[in-house]
Amino acid sequence: MGVQLADKIVLVTGAAGGVGRAVAARMAAEGAKTVLLADLAPEPLAEVAAGIEASGGSAGSLVADLGSAGGCAELVSRVADGYGRLDVLVHTAAVPNSPVDFLSVPDEVEARGHNSFLVDNMNAYSCKSLQG
């Protein structure tokens, strides 16, 4: 796997949380060129970044609110402006175990009102502008 991640720019959302933190550290250990860490919470993000750097990896912290399409779009712009491309997206930003009626979620949502991992994950589609 290390060879596959060499020279790759990886973005992990929810990187301050359980799954995201573990995935980010593993991606760095597997040789990703840069692991970008996105989350609401600056302090834990800095902690995760410091851990990756201390292990010889390269990390960048991006504080972002991905609870809206606008927040996702802004994050994508920052990645594009700062790094020029995105090779791998791992989208784990979530509010786990939040009840939601997924059939009621509109195409364009402000997730604050739904507070749901499903909504956050749907907003990953905002990232498609980085394809190619």
Ligand X SMILES: NC(=O)c1ccc[n+]([C@@H]2O[C@H](COP(=O)([O-])OP(=O)(O)OC[C@H]3O[C@@H](n4cnc5c(N)ncnc54)[C@H](O)[C@@H]3O)[C@@H](O)[C@H]2O)c1
Quote the DSSP letter at residue 30. T
Shortest distance in whole angstroms from residue 7 CB to ligand X: 27
Which one of residues 4, 18, 82, 85 is an interface residue with ligand X (CB under 6 A)? 18
Shortest distance in whole angstroms from residue 47 CB to ligand X: 11
The tokens 């834990």 sit on which residue? 44
Cα–Cα distance measured from residue 95 to residue 119, given in angstroms and rounded to the nearest whole number = 9
Show contacts with ligand X in window 66-105 (CB under 6 A): 66-67, 92-96
| Secondary structure of residue 86 in the 3-state scheme | coil
Shortest distance in whole angstroms from residue 105 CB to ligand X: 15
Stretch that binds ligand X, among 33-41, 50-58, 78-86, 100-108 (CB under 6 A): 33-41
Query: Does residue 19 belong to the site contacting ligand X (CB under 6 A)?
Result: yes
Nearest CA among 11, 45, 42, 46 for reference residue 28: 11
Query: Does residue 42 belong to the site contacting ligand X (CB under 6 A)?
Result: no
- Phi/psi region, residue 102 (left: phi>0; alpha: psi -120 to 50; beta: rest), is alpha
Stretch that binds ligand X, among 2-10, 26-34, 39-47, 50-58 (CB under 6 A): 39-47
Burial class (CB in 10 A: 0-12, 13-18, 19+), 85: exposed
Contacts to ligand X by CB under 6 A: 14, 16-20, 39-41, 64-67, 92-96, 117, 120
